[in-house]
Amino acid sequence: MTKGKVYLIGAGPGDVKLITLKAVEAIQNADVVVYDRLANPRLLSFAKEDAEFIYVGKKSNQHTLTQDKINQLLVDKANQGKNVARLKGGDPFVFGRGGEEAEELLEDGIEFEIVPGITSAIAVPAYAGIPVTHRTATSSFKIITGHEDPEKDESQIDWDILGKDESTLIFLMGVSNLGNITGKLIEKGKSPDTPIALIQWGTRPEQRTVTGTLSTIVKIVKEEGITSPAIIIVGEVVNLREKLNWFEKKPFFGKRILVTRAREQASELSKKIESLGGEAFEFPAIKIAEVEDKTELDDSINNASSYNWLIFTSVNGVKYFFKRMKELNKDIRTLGDVKICAIGPVTKKSLEDKGLIVDYMPEKFVAEKVIEGLSPLLNHGDKILLPRADLARPVLVESMIQMGMNVNEVITYRTLPENRDQEELLEKLEEKMIHLITFTSSSTVTNFLKIFDNIDTRNRLLKGVKIACIGPVTAATAADNGLVPDMTADDYTIEGLIEVIKNNL
């Protein structure tokens, strides 16, 4: 059997976007992903659907697997012919024991590759507004393990040098030894007034930063409840935090926001959340799929030029209508002189990207307002083609029929439940790691609620979690299902949703 290959990957400090392109490629091609506690679980979303995930996270004095067993696991999986992505927090060769794993692989004849990662030693201080070097403070920095007991006889740390060193000192994995570290530095010559900072869960929504001096920081850390994982920065550069603190000042900082949109549409909302300092946790409550029987859709496309109006209520309607048109070897000439209505600016843009001019777009993007705006433009008996989802509200169709229009509502795509990553979401809700949930349609509400076994469990897990809805129809669906929306966008768009969240967080 051909042996597999192992990639020892630096997963970065926590922010999922700090992963490298090479690392993403290795994860995508892996049959097995072995990951640590400090590797963001969202990185697993890059893996193949059938990839095997193995958690080997280690807390202080708590090991899922010992290092020897992790080494053997990598060898065993590769010997089974599987390609392995070994995700390690930060960089695998900066106190990551990647060298030990590489030696074991080499000894067993396993091909391996090192994929460097952004180490927390530089990334975490940067997210706290602390440059590790600065022209007016210091021109060098040192990275030191904080996991070694400074009192032990065989210490490899030269405390005599560090006590006199003017470089920025960065200790990794040193929270439990903080008292020993500060005491030793003072003993060996550092001023008790030397600035020091601890940053917990750096680059993530849970990031917390405390500052003090060598003589005061132990008490401060205890009072503030700072625990591992955290890094320690010692030096004058800590004083720059007051001016350069950028990440913690973003409006969504500290918030993990659930995005329930379909997977292919989630990125737009997620990007906006993350640009404002939040972390988007994507849990698609729905997925979009083609209709199985395309007979009616094909007939409507073949006769599109016979209609007076073509009304698109969503980007998906545009996408699947024109996809099918292409499959039928037809182009926009098939539409003839039909007038086009688009509900919402994103729907309008998707039509314009296809070279079509939109004749009308309502100011408000709900059925009632569409009718109000369209009514002066319609003539009795007009033929209207309405390509849309299988679960769309009937209000628009019923109202136009009452006005004397001939309406052909053709199902263009389906909205189906999605339940991937359900266990991970429930775990995050249990641990109170979700701060706000966004709903962008009624179907995202109803399908999201299906993950709960009963109402009592739902109410317990959602206690304290805010609810944001894209518009009044979605908000009404939430309310009808026992969820009280905390905020509803006045402008029924992603931009409007972001704005109402910004004003209510």
pLDDT given for residue 153 in this prediction? 63
Whole-number Å distance between alpha carbons of 181 and 375? 75
Q: DSSP secondary structure string, 190-241? A: --TT-EEEEEESTTSTT-EEEEEETTTHHHHHHHHT--SSEEEEESGGGGGH
Q: Can you list the positions of beta strands (E) in 344-382?
A: none
pLDDT given for residue 360 in this prediction? 92
Query: Position 335: which residue type?
Result: L
Say whether 288 sits in a helix, a strand or coil.
strand
The pLDDT tens digits of the residues spanning 281-305 come to 988 888 888 999 999 999 999 999 9
Whole-number Å distance between alpha carbons of 427 and 319? 35
- CATH numbers and ranges of domains, the chain: 5-118 (3.40.1010.10), 122-248 (3.30.950.10), 256-285+419-504 (3.40.50.10090), 289-416 (3.40.50.10090)
Whole-number Å distance between alpha carbons of 475 and 500? 13
Which active-site residues does the annotation give? 36, 58, 173
Whole-number Å distance between alpha carbons of 3 and 350? 47
Picking from 1, 44, 12, 468, the residue whose alpha carbon sits closest to that of residue 257 is 468
Residue-by-residue pLDDT tens, the chain, 505 positions? 789 999 999 999 999 999 999 999 999 999 999 998 888 888 988 999 899 999 997 655 555 688 899 999 999 999 999 999 999 999 999 998 999 999 999 999 999 999 999 999 999 999 999 999 999 889 999 999 988 755 556 778 999 999 999 999 999 999 999 999 999 999 999 999 999 999 999 999 999 999 999 999 999 999 999 999 999 999 999 999 999 999 999 999 999 999 998 877 778 899 999 999 999 998 888 888 899 999 999 999 999 999 999 999 889 999 999 999 999 999 999 999 999 999 888 899 999 999 999 999 988 767 677 888 888 898 899 999 999 888 777 888 888 898 899 999 999 999 888 766 788 899 999 999 999 999 998 889 999 999 999 999 999 999 999 999 998 889 999 999 999 999 999 888 899 999 999 999 8
Instruction: Name the one residue in this structure whose structure tokens are 């949930």.
Output: 437
pLDDT given for residue 52 in this prediction? 95
**Burial degree of 49 (CB within 10 A; 0-12, 13-18, 19+):** exposed
Query: Tokens representing 470?
Result: 């894209």
Neighbours of 339 (CB within 10 A): 18
DSSP state of 138: B
CB 42 within 8 A of CB 53: no
Say whether 502 sits in a helix, a strand or coil.
helix
Whole-number Å distance between alpha carbons of 10 and 26? 11
169: left (phi over 0), alpha (psi -120 to 50) or beta: beta
* Helix residue spans in 85-216 (DSSP H): 98-107, 120-127, 159-164, 178-187
The pLDDT tens digits of the residues spanning 112-131 come to 999 999 999 999 999 999 99
* Helix residue spans in 214-365 (DSSP H): 217-224, 241-244, 266-275, 295-302, 315-327, 345-352
Whole-number Å distance between alpha carbons of 146 and 429? 32
CB 340 within 8 A of CB 413: no
Whole-number Å distance between alpha carbons of 275 and 250? 9
CB 14 within 8 A of CB 202: yes
pLDDT given for residue 45 in this prediction? 84
Query: Tokens representing 123?
Result: 């990334």
